[in-house]
Amino acid sequence: MLVRQCVVAGQFYPGSAGECRAEVKACLAQAASLSTSREYRQAFQRIQGGIVPHAGWMCSGAVAAGAFEVLATDTSIETYVLFGAVHRLLSPLGAVYAGSAWRSPLGEVAVDQTLAEAALQGSSLLTYDPDSHDLEHSIEVQIPFVQHLAPSAKILPIMVPPVASAHEIGRAVAEQVDRLGRKAVFVGSSDLTHYGPRYHFTPKGSGAAALHWAKDVNDRRLIDKILRLEADQIVGEAMTHHNACGSGAIAATLAACVQMGADHAELLQHTTSCEVLAERLGHSTDAVGYAGIIVGRSAS
């Protein structure tokens, strides 16, 4: 039985069950102070998925939690298809984890192996590659939110590289979801602009004005494309403007959602590490953007 072990617990999020559960609840409480899931849920006839960040929970946990809370308002969801960014190993194919489960401090969550096998058989753009997931954090940090909010749901983890065919990967997975009649949502894991000397990206120099540009101009370029559901333009946008580390995951998510009938997206929250940590750390020359976005079929 192949079970993916948690590798960034104790670093990106708490490593013990009690502390992890408490931090999930704290992130949800913080998200609730910023918006209400009910308000956003009412904008949709049906929710197909969303975009979440994947930094340490101290920085982006509340943004991710807010999106997952909206997704979890549909208690009939059987499978969370988690499209992850690729930070280490780069392959032109989507790397499917078709093992039996993933482990987090909250226990194990089952992988939807039937859907995994169908996706692998249905598209040459996907490959069975569990080893690629070993050191990648972009999906792992989402697992406890799924476990807490949707304890009976399964997952399907797929790492999607920033390649031109990324949106086709998402569409191919959605076709199998539809064929199997699976009740699923698609979640794309990506942070936005990594700005500052630490990230070797300072086209506007340093200082407050530069960090505002990173968020309000550079991040916003990509966010606007996401809100317009322009799946086939996401990777090119990110390659040109360096405003997403998981553009493949975003593109796959949007394409999958559209394939399942999505025609609308809502921005729940958009912030940066600099803003989140301002009270604790004071001024910073670096910042990473985070956005929580929900995608689905409009209620109007």
pLDDT of residue 224 exceeding 60, the answer is yes
State mean pLDDT over 70-84. Answer: 97
Distances (CA, A) of 268 to 135, 142, 211, 274: 29, 17, 21, 19
Band (pLDDT 50/70/90 cuts) for residue 207 is: very high
CA distances from 156 to 67, 73, 79, 118, 132 (A): 18, 19, 7, 11, 14
pLDDT of residue 34 exceeding 90? no
- Contact indicator for 77, 153 with CB cutoff of 8 Å: yes
- pLDDT bin (cut points 50, 70, 90) of residue 33 is confident
Kindly state the average pLDDT of the residues 227-238: 98
- Percentage of the chain modeled with pLDDT above 90: 88
pLDDT at 83 over 70: yes
Sheet holding 101-104, edge to edge: 3-4, 101-104, 107-110
What integer best gives the mean pLDDT of the chain?
95
The yes-or-no verdict on residue 38 having pLDDT over 70 is no
Which residues, including other chains, have CB under 8 Å from residue 226's CB and lie 6 or more apart?
A: 51, 234, 250, 254, 265, 291, 293
Helices (H), 87-205: 113-122, 143-149, 166-180
Count the Cβ atoms, other than its own, within 10 Å of residue 23: 18
Whether the predicted pLDDT of 13 surpasses 80:
yes
- Read out DSSP for 216-236? IIIIHHHHHHHHTT-GGGHHH
Residue 291: what pLDDT?
A: 97
Structure token digits, residue 96: 């499917």
Q: What is the CA radius of gyration of the chain?
A: 18
In 3D, which of 272, 277, 222 has the Cα closest to residue 250? 222
Residues 121-145: pLDDT tens digits? 999 999 998 888 888 999 999 999 9
How does DSSP classify residue 100? Answer: S
What predicted TM-score, i.e. pTM, was given to this entire model? 0.96
Taking only the tens place, the pLDDT of each residue in 240-251 is 999 999 999 999
Check if the beta carbon of residue 255 is closer than 8 Å to that of residue 172. Answer: no
Q: Which domain holds residue 172?
A: 3-298
**Cα gap 125→169, rounded to integer Å:** 6
Number of domains in the chain: 1
What CATH number corresponds to the domain at position 183?
Answer: 3.40.830.10
Give 110's pLDDT tier (boundaries 50, 70, 90): very high
CA distance 215 to 297: 27
Q: Which of 120-129, 200-209, 258-267, 273-282 has the lowest mean pLDDT?
A: 273-282
| Spatial contact of 280 and 244, defined as CB atoms under 8 Å apart | no
pLDDT of residue 250: 99
Q: Is 282 left (phi over 0), alpha (psi -120 to 50) or beta?
A: left
- Cβ distance 189 to 140 under 8 Å? no
What's residue 255's pLDDT? 99
pLDDT at 278 > cutoff 90: no
